[in-house]
Amino acid sequence: MAGILVIAEANEGALSSISGELLGAARKLAGEGAGTVTAFVAGSEALGKELIALGADAAIVDTNPALQGALAEVYLPAVQAALQQSGADIVLMGQTALGRDLGPMLAFALDTAVSMETVDLKYQGKLIATRSCYGGNARAEVSFKNAPAIATVKAKSFDALPADASRTGAVTTIDVAGEARIKILGVQKAESTGIRLEDAPVVVSGGRGLGDPSGFKLLEELAALLKGATGASRAACDLGWYPPSQQVGLTGKVVSPNLYIAVAISGASQHMAGMAGSKNIVAINKDPDANMVKVAKYAVIDDYRKVVPALIEEIKKLG
């Protein structure tokens, strides 16, 4: 038997965006001969229908309430049961708080391997996963000696297909949950004001070259004007100039806006790992040789303190 099992995720009864992206990836692989697509989700049967509409051939819904908000160890036996039922030899999940633990756990439990933070997938008689390594300086393509092949997929690496309500497929339910050795005592959501960084069509980010935290005020003004969000490099966050929740990069958020304006950011590979997927990059930097300038579509080589205020004025004038 062959096929793909997608581990979808839902939040308060609604599928999270990674679920559609994973199904987009799975349909691509199915088109390359990887077999049928089964989607697994914890929640209600209605979610199963949504997964079919988004590209699954069949859905397995685990209705056990213990899975809601649970840690990966509670999911492990449920996913193993779904794997058995589907007969899949490829498992895809998101590089999320759940997937980053579940992927390795499943791999170790089944004596196989996992490709973490996968950015591309292809099927050539076997699954080949592409991922970034050495801080973004290198890319590796890996395959799997044993089955199933498991990959956790980075957000925004694949596009979701439009929901098609006319698609049909079987939705079955199971009721499996593992034992929780680790107990969750509480969850604290980070305060976020304005548009979520990951969803913003325009992101204006600042780096160490801003010189002091006041530079971010200018960037926030520019971002507000463009109805975008404000991000930061790790160097700027480590200096305490901007909250870590707004950090873009390998150890921060991954963004792929239509427009990314990098102000006084050099473009280290770890920063690029979080924004290289941006459709259009603008660099504002004093240094013509900065990596960010090389990858940009447009660059202004000058002091941001003079450039950004003038940019704000001109955009206001253009209306």
β-strand 149-153 against 90-94: which pairing, if any?
parallel
Q: Provide, rounded to whole angstroms, the least separation between the CB of residue 243 and ligand FAD.
A: 13
Helices 304-318 and 215-225, interaxial angle, to 10°?
20
User: Residue 231: helix, strand or coil by DSSP?
Assistant: strand
Question: Does the protein bind another protein through residue 31 (CB under 8 A)?
Answer: no
For residue 37, give Cα distances in angstroms to 27, 194, 208, 213: 7, 37, 46, 49
Is residue 296 at the binding interface for another protein, with CB under 8 A as the rule? yes
User: Is residue 240 within the footprint of another protein (CB under 8 A)?
Assistant: no
Which of 204, 208, 206, 179 has its CA nearest to residue 194?
A: 204
Quick check: 147 binds another protein (CB under 8 A)? no
235 binds, among ligand FAD, another protein, none (CB under 5 to 8 A by kind): ligand FAD
177-193 burial, b at 16+ Cβ within 10 Å, e below that, comes to bbeeeeeeeeeeeeeee
Told to check if 1 binds another protein by CB under 8 A, we report no
Nearest distance in Å: CB 55, another protein = 24
Answer for the pair 208, 239: CB distance below 8 angstroms, yes or no.
yes
Report the sign of the C-alpha dihedral through residues 243, 248, 252, 256, in that order.
positive
Residue 32 touching another protein (CB under 8 A): no
Contact between 103 and another protein per CB under 8 A = yes
Query: Is 226 a residue that touches another protein (CB under 8 A)?
Result: yes
Q: Is 101 in the site for another protein (CB under 8 A)?
A: yes
> Cα–Cα distance between 280 and 259 in angstroms, integer?
5
Cβ contact 235:207 at 8 Å: yes
Instruction: Kindly list the residues in this chain that would bind ligand FAD in the complex (CB under 6 A).
Output: 142, 207-209, 233-236, 247-252, 264-266, 268, 270-271, 274, 284-287, 290, 303-305
Q: Which does 190 bind (CB under 5 to 8 A by kind): ligand FAD, another protein, none?
A: another protein
- Using CB distances below 5 to 8 A depending on partner kind, what does residue 214 bind out of another protein, ligand FAD, none? none
Answer yes or no whether residue 128 interacts with another protein by CB under 8 A: yes
Q: Give 33 or 211: the residue with its C-beta nearer to ligand FAD.
A: 211
Among 33, 45, 65, 139, binds another protein (CB under 8 A): 139
Q: How far is the CB of 188 from another protein (least distance, A)?
A: 5
Kindly state the smallest distance separating residue 251's Cβ from another protein, in Å: 7
224 binding another protein? (CB under 8 A)? no
Do 286 and 305 touch, CB atoms closer than 8 A? no
Question: How many CB atoms within 10 Å of residue 65?
Answer: 12
Indicate which single residue of 73, 220, 221, 287 sits in contact with another protein (rule: CB under 8 A). 73
Asked if residue 239 binds another protein (CB under 8 A), the reply is no
Query: Residue 179 contacts by C-beta under 8 Å, 6 or more apart in sequence?
Result: 73, 74
Q: Which is nearer to another protein, 53 or 300 (CB)?
A: 300
SS3 261: strand
Which residue from 84, 90, 99, 94 is spatially nearest to 143, judged by alpha carbons? 90
